[in-house]
Structure 1
Amino acid sequence: MTSTGVSGAALAELGTGFTGEVIVPDGSAYDEARTLFNAMIDRRPAVIAQCASTGDVVRAIGFARSAGLEIAVRGGGHGVAGAAATDGGLVVDLRRMNAVTVDPGARTARAGGGATMSHLDRATEAFGLATTGGRVSTTGVGGFTLGGGSGWLERKYGLACDNLVEVELVTADGERIRASEDEHPELFWALHGGGGNFGAATSLTFRLYPLPAVTVGILLWPPEAGPDVVRAYRDFMVTAPGEVGGAAIYLTAPPEDFVPEPLVGRLALALVLTYAGTGPEADAAIAPMLALGHTGGGVLEMPYADLQCMLDDPPGFRNYWSAEYLASLPDEAVDAFCDRAADMVVPSASQHILLPQGGAVANTGTHYPIPWRTAPWVVHPLGLWEATADDERAISWARDLRTDMRPWSAGAVYLNFIGDEGPDRVMAGLGAGNYRRLAAVKARYDPANVFHLNHNIRPG
């Protein structure tokens, strides 16, 4: 036996015909290969199978099952719960399968299961096309989309999963399946919010939209201005067109040219204003927020892919995220949101976020298992910090913010925004009726619950 607990002969068998790379704990690439975005997760897989083809994925899953190894599937490795790694099991690592092919005539893009948003956005940018992606470029396309896919363009074009054309995946039995409206339609339905419960997604094809550039505003205020600014933003978003997205964010003001010196390194309120397009319509749409008299910041036109990487956080931070979706946002809720910002770890990369929904989020794909899409607002404490000494404070801030906002809660939650918060929250993320239907799909495609390192749906 090797140090992995897997025999050398078995590993040699896995490696035969494997076009990627098989990495084990005594290999020089092991520590880098097992590292996730969330530095709080420190797991040691027995085998990391860095797949370069769908055939590799089939071989890796079959090997793990025959060896009795727990399976984790890694796309971007960005999820806060650390489900892309396993202690003592096998990681089906898709990161080498990151190619993106764009068909500009059909306005579609096919992304490999290991592609990040940067891969997808840069590929479509060359043709003046885009689709809804995450709010940072490092997010893995697969996990993001299968969980629903919330991003800056969602109010105009819907969630990422609303723009899925087809998904190719490998099941627990090693079967290669293409799911679409016409092939395996019930599975295709389940892949709109059900996450990685049904197999390893090796490619995803998306509908694209003409979008050569976007208009982006980042406006800053000192924290004491927060309640008035957030109320104004709330009222503004009620009538804002679908092209307008954005967020109200308490954060540590960075040392950038557009940040006044007194705010640098301190808590500040930022309004991020996005408009899917440029020109007079964009200027008119965001003008009411510019009239508030911001302390710092400004407005730019840029390619959508540049917007996507503006708020990227480098890896290596400790992470804790959560969310509360709101049925309403009265003045009392605004005050509660703003007051709790004082408990953030500052300075840090943490963000205390209020996001608007509405538009195409609320009226597209309503038959999919995504009960949170009808909520008009979501509060999203996104904790990223460096020192272990700040763990308790950062986690308490996130949990306390949820508690503060619970009087206005809609009850549902986007599972990509949270870690492991228990089965009740999984149910809240999918809906009880949807869960029963999803469990039946799970029983058909993964009856042994092989793919359980996720917001798990148990086979019905």
Structure 2
Amino acid sequence: MTSPRLAEPSLEALRTRLTGDVILPDDPAYDEARTIFNAMIDRRPAVIAQCETAADVSAAVLFAREQGLDVAVRGGGHSVAGLALNDGGLVVDLRRMHAVTVDPEARTARVGGGATMSHLDRATQQFALATTGGRVSTTGVGGFTLGGGSGWLERKFGLACDNLAAVDLVTADGREVHADEDENPELFWALHGGGGNFGVATAITLRLHPLPVLSFALLMFPAAKGNEVVRLYRDFMEAAPDEAGGGLLYITGPPEEFVPEHLVGTAVCAVLITCTGPEADVRRLARPLLAPGPEVEIIQETPYAELQCMLDDPPGMRNYWSAEYLRAFPDEAVRRFCDRAADMPVPTNSQHVLFPMGGAVARGDSSFPVPWRTAPWAVHPFGVWADPADDERARRWVRAVREDAQPWAIGRVYLNFIGDEGEERVMAGFGPENYRRLAKVKAEYDPENVFRRNHNIKPAV
């Protein structure tokens, strides 16, 4: 698609109002500026506003409205549906707004709207503090948190949104608004899972927790042992303390020194146990899972920020993923999960994931619009590949995993884990009562649905 050409006087006015840069289709930096995580997405916005301040964001939003341009908001750019970009519209690019300020005494971090997990984790690690973050270092903190925020530390510290203390955002009419428990409390409630529907988050404040040490155990088994390992892992996690997190993943054996040659390039069943304690604790926790005889056994302490990089994918990969949250994971569900691993595109960077929930997640505030928090298990088919010839094969596999899980699915889903799956799926993600309440907040702060490139909540009439 060819991006529309805007009048030079209007563009010059925008440049004058912005501290940051205005990138147009004929600029040398344009293609790099519009590149996002999912290489399947190829969209050509008319304007990319690289904002450096909240005032820049306000100016960009107002310019888009004056010019009749669709608005997209880019933080980390990790949306699988490519919602950080549009065709022929304006992109509010927050990446230059990535400062993180830690208050170690108050145990809070003020995080710029364009910061990634790497920015946050490395800033808090200096003070032996942390909060629940995404499972890869390049995820944007803002979109992750406002969408609910599921990560390695959630069983101990709760979802990211459970740790949300305040949000500063620019609304559809260009206003700068603050929301916390006392100021704009209904908006603050909506931001605990309602995503980017209500404005552009220019900064968020998160509560932090002491994390002096983190340890993990990584165990790898041939895929043929998967059924035994998954059942053992299920029983282990259902009795595990809150300090234990992680997940079980079918992956392609990576070409690393620690992986036996016969497993490289083949499907392997991997167990990752994270522990908010020392190595001795994770060794004790992992003992029951050693019975099937893992061919890879790595147990050690590591900085949290390094763990967050462990599953980072290389840039330029194609992506398609989804999820189902389950009320139970009986033996028949295990069998289906393991059988479907045989259909996972291999060798690719795809992951066939089982996440344990529970702990602090299940005990969190039930009034927040994240009704999936009650599920004890989540199945997350995460398709990542390089060759366009694998596109349909990967999509079919993801859909088949979801179909297999339907007998145990609760019908609610963490929307950050899915792409564009239709309006009914969005409404189901929030739950009907939450959706109606969110729609009223949307009508107050964005009545014309300017911020609609997201898992969209339509304003209440």
Contact 2:3–2:44 (8 Å) recurs in 1: no
CA shift at 1:20, angstroms? 0.5
> Secondary structure at the residue paired with 2:197?
coil
Q: Paired residue for 2:284? A: 284
Counterparts of 1:178-257 in structure 2, within 5 Å, are 178-257=178-257
Contact 1:412–1:428 (8 Å) recurs in 2: yes
CA distance in 2, matches of 1:3, 1:247: 43
Contact 2:216–2:279 (8 Å) recurs in 1: no
Counterparts of 1:280-429 in structure 2, within 5 Å, are 280-429=280-429
Q: Paired residue for 1:173? A: 173
1:179-221 deviation line (CA, Å, top 9, x unaligned): 1001100000000110100000000110001112211111000
Query: Structure 1 runs of 4+ off > 6 angstroms?
Result: none
1:99-149 deviation line (CA, Å, top 9, x unaligned): 000000100001100000000000001111000000000000011001000
Matched letter for residue 260 of structure 2: P
Counterparts of 1:268-283 in structure 2, within 5 Å, are 268-283=268-283
1:6-62 deviation line (CA, Å, top 9, x unaligned): 101100000113110000000000000001100111000000000011110010001
Matched letter for residue 305 of structure 2: A
Q: Paired residue for 1:77? A: 77
Q: Paired residue for 2:106? A: 106
- Structure 2 residue runs of 5 or longer lacking an equivalent are none
CA distance in 2, matches of 1:240, 1:113: 35
> Secondary structure at the residue paired with 1:16?
helix
- Identical residues among aligned pairs (%): 66
Q: Paired residue for 1:65? A: 65
Contact 2:217–2:283 (8 Å) recurs in 1: no
1:266-318 deviation line (CA, Å, top 9, x unaligned): 11000011001214333322322234421113111001111000110012111
Contact 1:4–1:47 (8 Å) recurs in 2: no
Question: RMSD of aligned C-alpha atoms?
Answer: 1.0
Q: Paired residue for 1:17? A: 17
CA distance in 2, matches of 1:281, 1:341: 31
CA distance in 2, matches of 1:8, 1:378: 50
CA distance in 2, matches of 1:121, 1:105: 17
Q: TM-score, normalised by structure 1?
A: 0.98
Q: In structure 2, do the counterparts of structure 1 residues 393 and 53 end up closer, same or farther at CA, with 3 Å as the change threshold? A: same
Q: Paired residue for 2:33? A: 33
Matched letter for residue 389 of structure 2: A
Stretch deviating more after TM superposition (443-452 or 295-304): 295-304
Q: Paired residue for 1:447? A: 447
Structure 2 residue 39 is the aligned partner of structure 1 residue 42: no
CA distance in 1, matches of 2:367, 2:459: 21
Q: TM-score, normalised by structure 2?
A: 0.98
Contact 1:3–1:26 (8 Å) recurs in 2: no
CA shift at 1:4, angstroms? 3.7
Matched letter for residue 10 of structure 1: S
1:230-276 deviation line (CA, Å, top 9, x unaligned): 00000001110001011110010101122111101111000011001
Structure 2 residue 148 is the aligned partner of structure 1 residue 163: no
Contact 1:49–1:90 (8 Å) recurs in 2: yes
CA distance in 1, matches of 2:290, 2:225: 15
Matched letter for residue 43 of structure 2: R
> Secondary structure at the residue paired with 2:196?
coil
CA distance in 2, matches of 1:279, 1:222: 25
CA distance in 1, matches of 2:204, 2:50: 19
Contact 2:171–2:177 (8 Å) recurs in 1: yes
Contact 2:273–2:282 (8 Å) recurs in 1: no
> Secondary structure at the residue paired with 2:73?
strand
1:344-399 deviation line (CA, Å, top 9, x unaligned): 11111000001000000001121100110000001000001111110110000000
Count of matched residue positions in the alignment of Structure 1 and Structure 2: 459
